[in-house]
Amino acid sequence: MEHLIAMPDATTLRSDARSGQVAEVDALIIGAGFSGLYQLLCLRDRLGLSAQVLEAGDGVGGTWYWNRYPGARCDSESHSYSYYFSDELLEEWEWSERYPEQPEIMRYLNHVADRFDLKRDIRFGTRVTSAHYDTAANRWLVGTEAGEQLTTKFLITAVGCLSTANIPDIPGLDTFAGDWYHTGQWPHDGVDFTGKRVGQIGTGSTGIQAAPVIAKTAAHLTVFQRTANYSVPARNVPLTPEFKRYLKQSYAEIRRLMHTTTNGHPFGISERLALDTTPEQRQALYEAAWETGGLQFRSTFQDLLFDKAANDTAADFLRGKIREIVKDPATAAILADIDHPFAAKRPPIDTNYFETFNRDNVSLVDVRATPIERITPKGIVTSDAEYELDIIVFATGFDAMTGPLLNIDIRGRDGLSMKDAWQAGPKSYLGLQVAGFPNLFTVTGPGSPSVLCNMPVAIEQHVEWITDCISYMNEHEVERIETTAEAADKWAEEVNTAANATLLPQVKHSWYLGANIPGKPRVFMPYAGGMLRYRDICSDVAARNYEGFVLSR
């Protein structure tokens, strides 16, 4: 094949990179998180391509490299938040807790990178700023912040779904005399809250994890809540030796299970319907799920995400728990005043979140009732008070899914920019390819199940599909693959239909809809039809010689 003959091998490439010359590779991958690491391994070691990862951070980890805020922990259980492509890796790695904490995930990903000798083909501290497709050469010219240029035949974005911080445009932030941080850009040497008056804006999954930890050392923590949120106890515990033994003996079965569930987690959704269950039975089942803790609370009944009346039973149960836990009735009322169906926004899980509001050094401000107006040198001003602060923590989420892609100046055929192509919202076939952008693959792009699924399961499927596709192209001497506008349009309809069958679009500020970012088109971005169905669709497309894509020699 042309690219295997003409391209330098990885060794030549590395010396090119050091000498600052334009490096040429078969495949460039942007991002060294879960996706980028596995994509590198597949393309380099399985297909024998020259491949390189460009990573803005100084280490592997992607989302986890940046999200080092207090309490940062994955909500998927550790044994499922793992790669499953290597039995050896599964046999040798041991997680310590039910949910992995950020530093442990970093150790895991570094272990993977070292074990498979990936770091030699990752360029750290290299932020990609542009990627322009040259039709005549059928290559992508990729530019970095430092002014370097690289060319590649295949460009794979592994930029993550939640990597572009959303810092709200609150007037006066630049005048604040204290320090402020976004949780997704947390300082690597940490932040000392001891004796400080801290204001935290945001009560999504991140804010719910951070507040209890910040409250332990801060002099005072003020939580600014715009939208009240449900949360279920995570019930994190150290893994017992028995459970660790079970995992070693059962990983093949766990893998099989995760590949057959809708959400890629190692637990199924009950077939019971909430409304077919007596109130007493329902209460008992919710109590049991509350005791078990974790994301599987939403799997207690099959109809929770589809039927508002069914959802109300879970919502009422969870509001009741808030009122039981939080001692001050006025605070409990603000926390329980939730305006959306349970799990229609990403449902947080917590360790002592609601309990934190029983501490003397924690207070809650309802900024839906009294909006934040501005930030002054002293702190945050709402419509009815000024809160004096030393530190502001923005737990305000991300410009999700499209943000990380649109931050790069991506231009496809005829100079078409991704920004223009997506002006009315993202359109992508299977979340994998955008019409007008040949040989560009987007791992966990908008239109994929990704964030509605246990991420490593979604990532492994995408990376393997892309790898098989490139392998097919090589075998059949195909030089270029590009999806069609018709296929992308049809898939957009499918994504909409899947979302509209659920309660997920019925939320005002959901990041699934892009509605958390002012001016962002309101389009439901992830595919809600389930990982199981999605996997079958992708396999069918490949089996039908990549139906929906144009392949050219």
Q: Which residues lie near ligand NA7 (CB under 6 A)?
A: 162, 168, 201-207, 224, 226-227, 346, 367, 372, 395-398, 451, 509, 511, 516
Helix (H, G, I), strand (E, B) or coil at 538: helix
Q: What angle do CA 145, 155, 164 make, to 5 degrees?
A: 50
CB of 453 to ligand NA7, least distance (A): 11
Helices (H) and strands (E) in the chain, counts: 17, 20
- Shortest spacing between CB 56 and ligand NA7, in angstroms: 19
Neighbours of 441 (CB within 10 A): 26
Q: Which residue has tokens 């279920």?
A: 232
Minimum CB distance to ligand NA7 smaller for 154 or for 342: 342
Nearer to ligand NA7, 76 or 433 (CB): 76
Distances (CA, A) of 486 to 254, 295, 429, 489, 493: 38, 36, 9, 5, 11
- What distance in Å separates the CA atoms of residue 43 and residue 113, rounded to the nearest whole number? 14
- 62 or 436: CB nearest ligand NA7: 62
Nearer to ligand NA7, 60 or 211 (CB): 211
Provide, rounded to whole angstroms, the least separation between the CB of residue 63 and ligand NA7. Answer: 8
CB of 67 to ligand NA7, least distance (A): 8
Contact 531, 262 (CB under 8 A): yes
Which residue's CB is nearer to ligand NA7, number 438 or number 526? 526
Least distance from ligand NA7 to the Cβ atom of residue 387, Å: 13
Output the six-digit token pair for 130.
């542009």
How far CA 201 is from CA of 291, 334, 375, in Å, comes to 29, 15, 12
- Looking at beta carbons only, is 112 or 451 nearer to ligand NA7? 451
Query: In whole angstroms, how close is the CB of 26 to ligand NA7 at the nearest point?
Result: 33
d(C-alpha 99, C-alpha 127), whole Å: 30
Here the tokens at position 74 are 């994955």
Q: Which is nearer to ligand NA7, 72 or 131 (CB)?
A: 72
CB of 171 to ligand NA7, least distance (A): 11
Are 4 and 48 contacting, i.e. CB atoms less than 8 angstroms apart? yes
Return the residue nearest ligand NA7 (CB atom): 204
Nearer to ligand NA7 among residue 50 and residue 396 (C-beta): 396
How many other C-beta atoms lie within 10 A of the C-beta of residue 399? 20
Residue that the structure tokens 């078409």 belong to: 416
Q: CA of 141: how far to CAs of 144, 408, 411, 412, 428, in Å? A: 10, 13, 10, 11, 22
**What minimum distance in Å lies between the beta carbon of 367 and ligand NA7?**
5
Taking phi first (over 0 means left), then psi (-120 to 50 degrees means alpha), and beta for anything else, what does residue 330 get?
A: alpha
In the complex, what is the shortest distance from the CB of residue 363 to ligand NA7, in angstroms, rounded to a whole number? 16
CB 531 within 8 A of CB 456: no
Q: Which is nearer to ligand NA7, 222 or 483 (CB)?
A: 222
The DSSP line for 123-134 is ETT--EEEEEEE
221 token code pair: 């923590």
Rounded least distance, CB 112 to ligand NA7, Å = 21
- Cβ proximity to ligand NA7, 310 vs 451, nearer residue: 451
